[in-house]
Each structure stands twice: as structure tokens, then as C-alpha cells.
Structure 1
Amino acid sequence: MSERSQQALRIGVIGLGVMGMGTATALLQRGLNVTGCDISQAAREAFTAEGGKSVATPAELADCHIVLVVVVNGGQVEQVLFGEQGVVGHLAPDSLVMQCATVAPSQAKQLGERLAAEGLMMLDAPISGGAAKAKSGDLSVMASGSPEAFSYAQPVLDAMAAKVYRLGDAPGVGSSMKLVNQLLAGVHIATAAEAMALGIRMGLDPEVIFDVISHSAGNSWMFENRVPHILSGDYTPLSAVDIFVKDLNIVHQTGRELALTTPIAASALQLFTAASGAGFGREDDSAVIKVYQRLSGITLPEAANDACGG
């Protein structure tokens, strides 16, 4: 795509949460014409402050050539695409929908079929990397779709991702790969919380546990990334507990569809579900450790202002 046509390309991003806002900002910073969409006025104002345009309903993205869907779950995907104010009925033929949310592979396949029936292309393109990489344009994209869809999406993929995995020529494969990632991510977070709880219960210094394990064979990316949230006592959600309740439920559902048992993922799901039921669902996913605090009375590090009585 020429520089001139890239500048003329109109991009819509539906969902200005942590990942959507970061992605939309990265696209904007790389010179693309981006309109953000969110029901939250605060989110829209935040994106406008970055220099982008914003709208309140997906239907208002009718003039976009490419629409990224970066919402929370499959129900929201259905609503923003096919609901009363959905974008699908308003897009021009041969426009592209990039479906970036974590959904069941079976739903991704169905979305591809439904969008094709409307004359639209779809890239099944779940994303991974967290808020910081979203904002810097360094995400991993696990994508599947037609060669035409990949070609059309190239300027967007170049702007948002450090690595794009081309996994197949039809929707569903990208979401399948994302599900493998989410199984591991959820299990690693749950295991990191349990390991920290055990160490604290045995009287070890939490800071020392982190230092030793992050330089030892038991380390994982999630341990190294999430345990600092526990050490600082800061559970401001970058990725919330309820996200993994959703994603590990999709793992469980897909395992049932395939007659494949997933006992380790099921154990992690129970921990996240317990954390959500205890009122921590909207806190950072590292707050799963609070389940152990409730069960065994371990003392967790406090936020600096809490420790000072602020």
C-alpha cells in the first residue's frame, strides 16, 4: 500500500479499554487516521486528548476501511458487530474487521462466515503483550485469514505489532492459538500466587522470594511481571481477575467440545472464580493471591499509602 493510500486509510478501534486505548494510540502515533469508539465518555475524551477522533457507537464508524474489535468478551463482540448500533450493517463491501478479543475458536469461525455473507473480510487476530506493549506498538498478533485480509491489514499490523504470526487462511486458527496462550498465562499467574503464598506462609521475605525465583529455573514471564504488583500491594487492574475467569472458562468449554480434559487449567479457573466471588474480580489478576490470604491468614505487602495510614 502506498504512503498516500495509507494516509487515506480510515481505521476504527472499538473498545478503548487498556488494550484498545494502547493499540489505538500506537496506530495514531504512526500516522494512521484513527477513530476510537467506546460507550465511556471518559475513554473517548482520553483518546481525543491523544489527538484522535472518537464516537460513542460502532455504527458511527461506517466510513472506516478497517475496524478493530478490542472488547472484553464474545457477547460484546456480537453486540458491537451485529447489535442495534453494530457496525456491520454500515460498512462498505470489502471492508475488513480485525477481531482482536479473546473468544472461543468456534465463535471466531462463525463470525468469519457471517461477515463473509455481508461482503466483509475478517482477520481473526487476537493480541497479546499487555498494556505497555499495546501502547508502544509491540504486541504479538496471532492471526488467521485470507491473503487478501492480511494484505489489506498490513499497515495496521505494522503499526501495532512487533510480531505477527500468520497461522492459517481462515478465522478460528488465531483464536485457537490465543486460547493456548491464555491457558498458560492463567495457570502461570495462579501458580505464581500459590508459590508466593507458600513462601510467605513459611516466613520467607516476599522480596527475597521474588529475587531468587526470578533468577532461577522456577521463573516465568508471568511470575516476573505480576509478582511486583503483589510486592507493591497495588492491584490496580492492568488485566483483571474476571478476564481470566472468562478466558479459562473458554478453555474449559473448548476442551469439552473436543473431549479433551484440562485439569490444570480447571484448577486455575477455580482459583480465579474464588477470587472473583470474594469481590476481587475487577482488581488486577495478581489479586488471586488474596484467596490464600483469606484461607490461611498470610500477611501480604501493603501499598505505600496504606502502610503509612493514608
Structure 2
Amino acid sequence: MSSAADPRSGLTTLGFVGLGAMGAPMVRRLLGAGHRVLVHDLNAVAVAAAVSAGAEGRGSPAAVAMEAQVVLVSLPTPDVVRAVALGAGGLAEGGALQVYVDLSTTGAQVAVQVAAGLAARGVVALDAPVSGGVAGAEAGTLSVMAAGDPAAFERVRPVLQAIGSNTVLVGEKVGLGQTLKLVNNLLAATTWAAACEALAMGAKAGLDPELMVGVINKSSGRSFPTERFAAGPVLTRRFDFGFRMELMAKDMRLALQEAEALGLVMPTSRAAQMLYGLAMAGGGGKGDVTKLARVTEGWAEVEIAASRRNEG
């Protein structure tokens, strides 16, 4: 099976709702793969940028789903996902829609609710959250953790492979993709909190931060956060990984809510969550997740910054 074809060009027609930091580069990857892409976002500037890259703008999610049999969404919160999928003017009102693919991180409960709502309209839903950051979206190297109907997954697999080099069906139960993404992000967030404390400790003791991070990243303490958060954005003071603090905090909250529903105690992760709470309380929610280091820098009265000895 294939998704709807544009009679003018024969290219596969896709819908895409949500043109934020992750959605915009994913749309560019889909356009580069030869797809006709119909897009919608509340941000007119984002829509204009996508149109300039070759996409076609539409005035609502419903308008997108009136033409595209396969629609992907990349949205910031569970409430927005529910509204786009099932609300007034939402995807459920589009008569062409057959397969809905949610690339957002919303939690298993919302994935199940949305899938049930769309099933009543004859639409198959896949939850397929992604990991790899903006750089991965730009390069098409994301991990895509899909869950749901295997036939629907096979139908959209070539589409997902345009954005993700590691595209996997993790289970047939809707929501399992969300659970795996939350497990992944909880681990990354907790590891980053511990790294911020450890790096501030080393800097306070007098270690050169650049040397310290370099050694760690060749030793047993290395992790994605030390390699991709500390080694670049923090040492350079650019704080530009490209993922907002409030979104990481949201993912932690969703993960811990799911853990609680499973009857699990997560003391280490809950302790790490406190550090994000302090950063958020200090007004850092809209800032990059790498700015979490500023909390522990403030306590230690140090900066985890690269040496300036080679400047000039």
C-alpha cells in the first residue's frame, strides 16, 4: 500500500502538523525524499519557511487530513496533541486520513486515548516518538520508536526512514513507543543532572573544565550528555543544543507519572527532577536544557567553561 498520490506529479502526498525545532527539519527531509508535504502550524513564519522549502500550507489540521492519507505530527504537549488530533478543526475531521503518526513525546496514556478516538473514524494510529535532537532531525539520523499495527508501520516505514536511520517497531500495543521514549529521556535527563553536579565539583576543586570533560568522555563516566551537552554547548557557553528545558522537564514528569502508575519507586530520577524544578523556578524554562549547568555553577561559584588560553 502507499499513501495518496499527487495526480500532478505522482509523488507521495503526506501531511505534517507542527513545524517547531524538530518538525521543520523533518519536513525538509521528507521534501528532500521526493514527497509532496502539506503542512500546518499556528506560527505563520514557520509555515512560510516550510512553503519556501517546497511544502504547501493548509489552514487547519482538518484541511491537511482532507487531502493526505498519512499525516505526521510533531507537537509540544499532550494537550496540543489531543486538540490537533481530536478537537474542532482537527485531523479526525479530515476525510482522507487513514494513518496518523505521532512523532511527539506525550506519554502512553494520551497515545492510547488519541488512538481510540481516531479508530472511531476508521483511522489507524501509530505512536512513533523520536530521539536524536535537532541535529539528528537535520541529518535524518533520528531514532524512531514506533508502536501499533504492524501493517500500518510497514506502510509508513519508508517515510519514517527518511527522518530516522534507526526506525524500529517496538511493539504492537499503542503507547509502547511513548514508554520507550520516556525511559530514554528520563535516563538522559537524570544523567545530565548528575553530570552538572559532578562537573561543578571538579571545576570548584580547580580542574580545568575543558580537560576534565575531555578525559571523562574517554573514560567510564562518559554519556550522551557529557559528549553532546557539556563538550559543546556548555564549554563554549553557547547553550545551544536545541531542546528547551521545559520540554525535558515535561518528559521527566510524564515518565515519573507512568512509573507511578506501574507501582514503581524512582528515587534517583525524582532527586534529579528537583534540579530541573530549580532551573524552571529561576525562569529557565524557555532556555536550552544545557543551561541546567548554570544551577550547579551558581552553587559552586564557578563556570564550566573552556580555557581561553588558545584565543587569538
State the TM-score, normalized to the length of structure 1. Answer: 0.92
Output the CA distance in 2 between the equivalents of 1:187 and 1:56. 40
Q: 1:28 aligns with which of 13, 20, 31?
A: 31
Q: Give, in angstroms, the shift of residue 294 of structure 1.
A: 2.9
Q: Give, in angstroms, the shift of residue 56 of structure 1.
A: 4.4
Contact 2:210/2:305 (8 A) holds in 1 = no
Q: Please give the residue correspondences for 1:106-255 in structure 2 after superposition, counting only pairs within 5 Å.
A: 106-227=109-230, 228-236=232-240, 238-255=242-259
Q: Give, in angstroms, the shift of residue 248 of structure 1.
A: 0.5
The SS at the match of 1:211 is: helix
Structure 2 partner of 1:64: 68
User: Match of 1:64, as an amino acid?
Assistant: A
Contact 1:59/1:85 (8 A) holds in 2 = yes
Structure 2 partner of 1:104: 107
Taking a change above 3 Å as real, the CA distance of residues 299 and 4 of structure 1, as seen in their structure-2 partners, is closer
Output the CA distance in 1 between the equivalents of 2:224 and 2:303. 24
Output the CA distance in 2 between the equivalents of 1:301 and 1:34. 42
Runs of 5+ in structure 2 lacking a partner? none
Q: Give, in angstroms, the shift of residue 4 of structure 1.
A: 10
Output the CA distance in 1 between the equivalents of 2:95 and 2:240. 37
1:281 and 2:285 correspond: yes
Q: 1:299 aligns with which of 291, 303, 307?
A: 303
Runs of 5+ in structure 1 lacking a partner? none
Q: Identical aligned pairs, as a percentage?
A: 32
1:269 and 2:273 correspond: yes
Q: Give, in angstroms, the shift of residue 74 of structure 1.
A: 0.5
Contact 1:193/1:286 (8 A) holds in 2 = no
Q: Give, in angstroms, the shift of residue 270 of structure 1.
A: 1.0
User: Match of 1:117, as an amino acid?
Assistant: A
The SS at the match of 2:75 is: coil
Output the CA distance in 1 between the equivalents of 2:123 and 2:260. 31
User: Match of 1:164, as an amino acid?
Assistant: T
The SS at the match of 2:157 is: helix
Contact 1:145/1:168 (8 A) holds in 2 = yes
User: Match of 1:158, as an amino acid?
Assistant: Q
Output the CA distance in 2 between the equivalents of 1:161 and 1:24. 12
The SS at the match of 1:260 is: coil
Output the CA distance in 1 between the equivalents of 2:77 and 2:301. 34
Output the CA distance in 1 between the equivalents of 2:124 and 2:12. 16
Output the CA distance in 2 between the equivalents of 1:132 and 1:71. 18
Aligned-residue CA RMSD in angstroms?
2.3
Contact 1:251/1:265 (8 A) holds in 2 = no
Q: Which has the higher helix share?
A: 1
User: Match of 2:184, as an amino acid?
Assistant: N
Q: Give, in angstroms, the shift of residue 229 of structure 1.
A: 0.6
Q: Give, in angstroms, the shift of residue 158 of structure 1.
A: 2.4
Q: Give, in angstroms, the shift of residue 49 of structure 1.
A: 2.3
Contact 1:280/1:287 (8 A) holds in 2 = yes
